[in-house]
Amino acid sequence: MQRSSLLMSMIIGLLVLAGVGIALTQAPQGAAQTPAPLVTYPDFPPTPTVGPNPTAPAGLASSNVIFQSNFDDADALAAWQFVDQTYIIKDLEAAWEVSNGRLVQVGSGLARNPSTNEAAALVGDAAWRDYTIRTSFYDEYNGIVGLIARYQGTEPTQSSYYRVRLYSTQYQISPKVVLEKVVDGVSTMLAEVKTVGFAPRIWHTLALSVQGNSLQVQLDGQMLVTAQDPNPLPSGRAGLFTYAIGGIFFDDMSVVTP
């Protein structure tokens, strides 16, 4: 009986030693075993580099410049008033900054969270009447851009102005372009374009002209939409418009008179 127990113990010991030997030959001492990944992700292409701004269309050239900004440094923000055009809880207002010589909408609140709240950047004088506001813009992922003219009022949700809104071609929405008149916060459509939006991740130029009761919108130097207002707003400031989603750049902004 004792011999059988001894023999069994020796067999068990040899099996244990064999197992240890196999483990040591497969994994060198001190080498951690890395488990295979559960999910393998594809290689995403790098974010496109924001290239140089486009040249202003010749038709917009004018010597009667009443305001312009290239956003060369943060001091450029001092000329602007940033307003939310919808009701916003305090500390969740749209955030703007100057970065790399461009005005950038960077989300909302201190955390810079994306929001679909309407955000505007206003500049100029309430006495401005007939003029063209023009800007270059580059959209990474926001999806909407616009311009404002003849803005009057101190309470954003009760102000009056003209506004053009353009949507990216990647947005499943129609119309793609809306030219509207807002009176005391209530919007009325003046004209629309159902199918022509703007392509993201390239530079564009956008211009809104107001002269008397006539309004015109140009995208990249081409006429996009026109309208007549039988009861025109008299005058007001100019501005830029987007959503507080972030991911959109403005540069080379100017206001010129005829």
Domain parsing of the chain, residue ranges: 62-256
Beta strands in 56-93 (DSSP E): 65-69, 81-84
Q: Which of 153, 77, 128, 121 is CA-nearest to residue 255?
A: 128
Question: Are 161 and 238 contacting, i.e. CB atoms less than 8 angstroms apart?
Answer: no
Beta strands in 56-185 (DSSP E): 65-69, 81-84, 94-99, 102-108, 118-123, 131-139, 144-152, 160-167, 177-183
pLDDT of residue 31: 44
Question: Are 162 and 233 contacting, i.e. CB atoms less than 8 angstroms apart?
Answer: yes
Class of domain 62-256: mainly beta
Kindly state the percentage of the chain with pLDDT values over 70. 77
pLDDT score of 5 more than 80: no
Distance between CA atoms of residues 50 and 10, nearest Å: 73
Q: Is the peptide bond before 175 cis (omega within 30 degrees of 0)?
A: yes
Helices (H), the chain: 2-26
Model pLDDT for residues 38-91, shown as the tens digit of each residue: 544 445 445 556 777 766 555 455 569 999 999 999 999 999 999 998 877 788
Token pair for residue 242?
Answer: 């987007």
What average pLDDT score do residues 143-172 get? 94
What average pLDDT score do residues 87-101 get? 88
Token pair for residue 29?
Answer: 């001492």
pLDDT of residue 27: 45
pLDDT of residue 23: 46
pLDDT of residue 41: 45
pLDDT score of 166 more than 90: yes
pLDDT of residue 96: 96
Model pLDDT for residues 9-30, shown as the tens digit of each residue: 555 555 545 554 554 445 444 4
What average pLDDT score do residues 91-97 get? 91
pTM summary value: 0.79
Q: Which of 133, 109, 94, 100 is CA-nearest to residue 242?
A: 94
